[in-house]
Amino acid sequence: MNKILVATTNPGKLKEISEMLDFDIEWKSLADFPNVKEVKEDGETFDENARKKALGYAKQTGLWTLADDSGLVIDALDGAPGVMSARFSKQSRDSNGAGENRTLLDHKNMTKVLKLLENVPPEKRTARFVCCLCLASPEKVLIETQGKLEGVIAENQAGSSGFGYDPIFFVPALNKTVAQLSSEEKNGISHRGNAIRKLAPILQKLIKNQKRSPV
């Protein structure tokens, strides 16, 4: 059976990924490798960060590794907060917000976005959540996919589910913010869900070919 490491310590992310990629795979997380050195997310783009994490952890563990990087891109802010999404209200590249009070940080990040967009009219508040996934072996990148969710930044927060910028991310087709969706509804349309759905058939083929001609 193939073993794949998911470059996360978040059990929720591991569960979501392993359930959506329901093949003959033994899934591992960083919690199974307490001695690995943290790979910093200091790239300029989501792709770069995902690639850096996947290769970095694959090299350290010898396992195929799946890593993701995601965030919010707002057109009126020239793509910000982008790769700084987790720490937008702090603007410090050496912190990813880990260890801080997440809810408080999410709240400060959203307040900053709403303030910056204060005088921006509805038609110019377009935005998207982006997720880049990378699967790498210790030697090379094997698969890269990207998923998006298009929306508009609301003028106020609404809803209480989800995390991060969900309460201010309005999806016009559903007439709701992402924080007003159930987790199933969110997974069905989300950037992460879309990136995983794109990766699934490619990974399945890769595993099938590997079985035919093992390396």
The residues assigned a catalytic role are 69
2 versus 48: smaller Cβ distance to ligand IMP: 48
- β-strands 126-136, 64-74: how paired? antiparallel
158 versus 206: smaller Cβ distance to ligand IMP: 158
How would you write 141-176 as a 3-class SS string? EEEEEEEEEEEEECCCCCCCCCCCCHHHEEECCCCE
183 versus 204: smaller Cβ distance to ligand IMP: 183
Tokens of 50: 């995902």
23 versus 163: smaller Cβ distance to ligand IMP: 163
Closest separation in Å from C-beta 177 to ligand IMP = 10
- β-strands 126-136, 176-177: how paired? unpaired
Read off the amino acid at residue 179. Answer: A
Closest separation in Å from C-beta 192 to ligand IMP = 6
Query: Torsions phi, psi of 211, nearest 5?
Result: -70, -35
Q: Which residues bind ligand IMP (CB under 6 A)?
A: 69-72, 85-86, 129, 162-166, 190
**In whole angstroms, what is the distance from residue 117 CA to residue 74 CA?**
10
**In whole angstroms, what is the distance from residue 175 CA to residue 39 CA?**
39
